[in-house]
Amino acid sequence: MRRSYLGEFEEVVLLTVAVLAEGAYGVAITDELERQTGRSVSISAVHAALHRLEEKGMLKSHLGEATAERGGRRKRLFTVTVLGSRTLHDIRAVRKQLWDSIAPNGLPAVSL
């Protein structure tokens, strides 16, 4: 089975695109990431990741509407491709399998 490797950041970005569904573009993704993970993310890092994911074929994009708050410039809106979706599912399956393989007391207890 062909496997695509994703970096941790790429994975998170890809997931965020999925979360945002229709409105996934640079700033929205950055904001959502900051909100969900609580870490500070730079726009350029997100753009770089989006660019890379699109090159890998996990994202596709089209140009959206221009708005005044963007100085009359258009957004690039991203959606997850089938390949992207499958990769996410794969990762999730591997994780799940791994979680399931851990003995009940295999991990030190933490309080959430």
Partner 1 sequence: MKNPPRWAVRLLELFCAPHLREEILGDLHERYGRDVLRAGVAGANRRYLLNVLKFIKPFALKRRTADDSTPSFLHPVMIRNYLKTSFRNLTKYKVSALINLFGLSLGVTACLVIYLITNYELSFDTFHPDRERIYRLVGIEKFNPRADSHPAGFVPNAVPAAVREEVAGLGTVAAFHNIRSTVLIPNGSEKPERFEESDIRSEEIIVADPQYFDIFQYQWLAGNPKTALNEPFQLVLSERKARKYFGNLPLVQILGKQVIYWDSVQVSVSGIVKEWGKPTDLTFTDFISIATVRSSRMKQSINLDQWDDIWSSSQAFVKLPEGAKPEQFNAAFQQFSRKHFQKEFKFTPGLQPLADLHFDGDYVDNYSRKAHLPTLYGMMGVAVFILLIAAINFVNLSTAQSVQRAKEVGVRKVLGSSRKSLVFQFLSETALLTLLAVSVALMLVNPILSASQSLTPTGLTFNLFSVETGLFLLGLTVCTALLAGFYPSLVLSSYLPALTLKGQSTLLGGQKGYLRKALIVFQFTVSLIFIIGTLIVERQLNYIRNKDLGFTTDAIIEVHSGRAGKTELLAEKIKQLSGVERVAKQWFPPMGMSYMMTKMKYYGKKEIELDVSAKVGDEHFIPLYNIRLLAGRNFQKSDSLRELVINSTFAKRLGFRKPADALNKMVEFDGTKYPIVGVVADFHEQSFHSKIDPAFIGILPQARNLGVKLQGKSAEELKATLARIEEQWKAVHPDKKFTYDFLDERIANLYEKEQKTSRLVTIATAVAILISCMGLFGLATFTAEQRTKEISIRKVLGASVAGIVALLSRDFLKLVFIALLLAAPIAWWAMTEWLKDFAYKVDIEWWVFALAGLLAIGIALVTISFQSIRAALLDPVKSLRSE
Contacts with partner 1 by CB under 8 A lie at 25-27, 30, 42-45, 47-48, 51-52, 63, 66, 68-71, 73-76
- Smallest gap from Cβ 40 to partner 1, in A, equals 12
Give 22 or 69: the residue with its C-beta nearer to partner 1. Answer: 69
Give 12 or 77: the residue with its C-beta nearer to partner 1. Answer: 77
Give 66 or 94: the residue with its C-beta nearer to partner 1. Answer: 66
> What residues are paired with 74 via a beta bridge?
66
18, 27 contact by CB (below 8 A): no
- Smallest gap from Cβ 76 to partner 1, in A, equals 4
**What SS3 class is residue 72?**
coil
Calculate ∠ Cα 35-39-40, nearest 5°: 95
For the chain, give the number of residues: 112
- Smallest gap from Cβ 93 to partner 1, in A, equals 30
Residues 6+ apart with CB under 8 A from 13: 29, 33, 46, 49, 50, 53
Give 51 or 86: the residue with its C-beta nearer to partner 1. Answer: 51
